[in-house]
Amino acid sequence: MSGPVPAAGPSAEAERVEARVASRIAPSPQLLERVARVSKELVEGVEKAARGRGSPLVRALVAGSAARGTFLSDRLDIDLFLLFPPDLPRDRLREEGLALGAAVLSEPEKRYAEHPYLRGRFDQFTVDAVPGFAITDPAHPLSPVDRTPFHQAYLLERETPAHVREIRLAKQFFRSLGVYGSEARTEGISGYLVELLILRFGSLRGLLGSARRWRMPVRLEEPGHEPPRLPEEVALILADPVDPNRNVASALSRRNLGVLILAAGGYLDQPSEKWFEAAKPSRLTRSEAEQRLRSRDSHVTVLSLPRPDLVDDTLYPQVRKAERAVGEELSRSGFEVLGAAAGVDARRVHLLFEVAHRQRSAVRLQDGPPAGIDRAGEFLRKWSDPKAPVVQGPYVRADGSLAVETRRAERAVEEVLRRALPRLSLGKDLTPSDPSKAEVSAFADVPETPAVEEALRDLLAKRLPWTGER
């Protein structure tokens, strides 16, 4: 007599979940055929336009997920790369790239990265026409997109239909966590990195099985074979197979990698389709934020700066630099910084800082040198002056060093920050030339805007993406 059928384990359930998700996110055969046709027509159209104007175009190609079929059914932009001779002056590169893009795209709109490119429409698809150089050595690119043909060739030679399915699953999984995208604003995982990880680990579950045990910084290279010149805050190290001196994962932040590591274990232990569904962004109204601050007995101060005319990939690193600089200054000045967040709109950059108390103590302990050394006399003369703002001292501490307690002139965090701003380095383009353009206010005095609301949510409604309401 047979016993009861054992319950399916997480692995069997994961197979069922992934089969359902893969079916839902995969582009239809008709869409794949249409993308292939449109890609061919785009290249032919650009080549024809190049011949007509005598353009020095070396090669045009559609690359990226559209070319490899690794895109998701609801997320497709076609990337058309226009490659020119390496010795072509950059002004001419921009001119020719924009002209050829305009020749094939409708509704062209100039966008900016390192140099201008065109975004437009072709047969109802959004297309980015991006100029670059036709280099022969991917280790020596002249622009950020020059390695693209080499990436394309590397992946096409290795990816199987099984890999393509797993790549789509991985993209959807990372997307649901909010960690997909290598833009400076996101600091996440690029599409190219996803494809390399799936090639390395074979499947989404193979990747997650390894990721749940990762410790930062994660090194997916043998020691001594990793890219040089890595910053201290690096999260993940994976050398670009076409340029071993480049870390493919350089954009990924430690915060986002931490989210991925935790989610990897969570999904493998309890697989569910919810892991592939984007979490609804939590909303925090001003009244709810004020209530939370009252219950936390903390205070939020806001530094608002004019937004420089920069693309996001140039702006956001400066925003984060400013955030760090101000946070460190507040800590040095005696405030306990509980958190920081930023919101950006068309005109302003808003930096929000939560501190434990709005006012620091009226008394500041000023450390002095040990008794008996030459500087001790200088310290005593300075702080024995009747005009010095001394509350107590000078005196000798238990460790034999001198000290004095002084009265602080500014106590409120806003006053301290206003005085410190002129000497802080907030970023080359973010530091206003006119100091009066930098506004420091308590949160209660700041007008309600979507950017401020976004920053408030990041500051006061932090949670793991899969733990909230979906």
198: helix, coil or strand? helix
Same domain, 182 and 226: yes
| 1 in a structural domain | no
Residue 225 has pLDDT above 80, yes or no: no
Residues recorded for the chain: 470
36-60 pLDDT, tens digit per residue, is: 999 999 999 999 999 999 999 999 9
247-273 pLDDT, tens digit per residue, is: 999 999 999 999 999 999 999 999 999
Span of 333-337, 353-357, 448-452 with lowest mean pLDDT: 448-452
Residue 15 has pLDDT above 70, yes or no: yes
| Predicted local distance difference test score (pLDDT) of residue 114 | 72
Which of 145, 174, 205 is at the close of a domain?
Answer: 145
Q: What are phi and psi of 129, to 5 degrees?
A: -100, 110
Residue 444 has pLDDT above 80, yes or no: yes
Structure tokens at 441: 């206010």
Residue spans of beta strands (DSSP E) within 322-375: 337-344, 348-355, 363-370
Residue 470 has pLDDT above 60, yes or no: no
Distance CA 79, CA 332 (A): 47
| 339 in a structural domain | yes
Same domain, 297 and 348: yes
Q: Could you tell me what percent of the chain has a pLDDT over 90?
A: 76
Quickly state the pLDDT bin for 468 (edges 50, 70, 90): low
Which of 252, 276, 300 is at the close of a domain?
Answer: 276
Residue 7 has pLDDT above 50, yes or no: no
Same domain, 230 and 258: yes
201-214 pLDDT, tens digit per residue, is: 999 999 999 999 99
Same domain, 206 and 69: no
122: DSSP letter: E
Same domain, 56 and 129: yes
CATH number for position 310:
3.30.70.590
Give the neighbor-by-neighbor strand order of the sheet with 125-133.
59-63, 78-84, 125-133, 116-122, 106-112
Q: Helix-strand-coil percent breakdown of the chain, rounded to 5?
A: 40, 20, 35
| 398 in a structural domain | yes
What mean pLDDT is predicted for residues 419-430?
90
List residues bridging with 301 in a β-sheet: 353, 442
pTM here is 0.88
386: DSSP letter: T
| 466 in a structural domain | no
